[in-house]
Amino acid sequence: MTAPTVISTFAGCGGSSLGYKLAGFRELLAVEWDDNAVETFKLNFPDVPVYHGDIAKLTGAECMKLAGIRPGELDVFDGSPPCQGFSTAGKRKFDDPRNSLFREFARLLRELQPKAFVMENVTGMVKGYMKQAYLTIIAELRACGYRCKGEVLNAMYFNVPQSRERVIIIGVRNDLGVEPTHPKPQTKPVTVREAFAGVGDNDAPPLTERYAAYWHAAGQGGVVGKLNQVRRLSLSEIAGTLVKAEGNGAPYHPTECRAISTNERKRIASYPDCFMFTSRESATERIGNSVPPNLMRAIAEHVREHILHA
């Protein structure tokens, strides 16, 4: 059987791409503008073509030429448009210019006309007054010729050792006559103890005296500091959502007076131990911004079996 195909936009370091690969998809093209994200992606996916640039400058014709396809041939069009303007961690401004990037996704969707699409975003877009942004997005995606459905999925039920809720919008081209659906929870939550079993080397630098004091004061599972500077993990609990920087809500080791290592961060995010990053700092940012691979694997497998093969 021929492998289903996917194009990934806002690809980052490849969290979604890895999920699709594990689900048996063949990636035809990745689209990303950040230099370090592209460098990291190429380290791990050397055989996948990359459009390194602004998605607003990528035409549908060029996208299809790079991927070697014609309109309607692609199986899945994937994307996680930058979502800081919707994030509950920020001020959630409806008119934040970063929120308009979904229109670039919709523009290419309209031109490529894949059988299905998957779009991931933060839960902030469906909360409070920001729900108008979500409804605008759904309306525009439907206008591209798709039946659409969004659901909030928590990665911790899909073999990801992290409580991370995200809105997943799945669309199916109207002519296929298939209603979009989402995967049901598949696994029990994985504790920090289970996630860290046999983890490799520690690259976390020593804590400053101030942060060491925070760590001791927090206790396992506790948070200390006006800005939640130290959020100490608990071995018996699930890790919280990984952020893209150290401090201010970032997780710290449950039993050792230090931040978590890159290897531990990979475990929490469901990246394999062999996945390569260019530095500790870049790994922190790349993973914090990415879709957990195992979550996307579950979504991709569901799309393959219940939509593409329906």
Number of Cβ within 10 Å of residue 21's Cβ equals: 21
C-alpha distances in angstroms, 229 versus 23, 224, 235, 253? Answer: 37, 6, 19, 13
The domain spans of the chain are 5-186+288-308, 192-275
Query: Catalytic positions, please?
Result: 83
* Sign of the dihedral through C-alpha 144, 148, 152, 155: negative
CATH number of 5-186+288-308: 3.40.50.150
Name the nearest CA neighbour of 158 among 305, 25, 269.
269
pLDDT tens for the chain, 310 residues long, are: 699 999 999 999 999 999 999 999 999 999 999 999 999 999 999 999 999 999 999 999 999 999 999 999 999 999 988 755 444 444 545 455 555 788 899 999 999 999 999 999 877 767 776 677 788 889 999 999 999 999 999 999 999 999 999 999 999 999 999 999 999 999 999 999 999 999 989 999 989 999 999 999 999 999 987 777 789 999 999 999 998 888 677 899 999 999 999 999 999 999 999 999 999 999 999 999 999 999 999 999 999 999 999 7
C-alpha distances in angstroms, 71 versus 61, 111, 113, 217? Answer: 9, 7, 6, 59
68 class by beta-carbon count within 10 Å (0-12 exposed, 13-18 middle, 19+ buried): exposed
Q: What is the pTM of this model?
A: 0.93
What H or E segment, with its residue span, contains residue 52? strand 50-52
Q: Euclidean distance between the first and final Cα of the chain, in Å?
A: 15
Query: What is the rounded CA–CA span in Å between residue 30 and residue 9?
Result: 6
**Coil vs helix vs strand at 21:** helix
What are the residues whose beta carbons fall under 8 Å from the beta carbon of 60, sequence distance 6 or more? 107, 108, 110, 111, 112
245 class by beta-carbon count within 10 Å (0-12 exposed, 13-18 middle, 19+ buried): exposed
Token look-up 């370091």 returns: 13
Q: Can you read off the two tokens belonging to residue 148?
A: 């659409």
Kindly write down the DSSP assignment for every residue of 170-192, as one continuous string. Answer: EEEEGGG------PPP-SPPPPH
Number of Cβ within 10 Å of residue 152's Cβ equals: 12
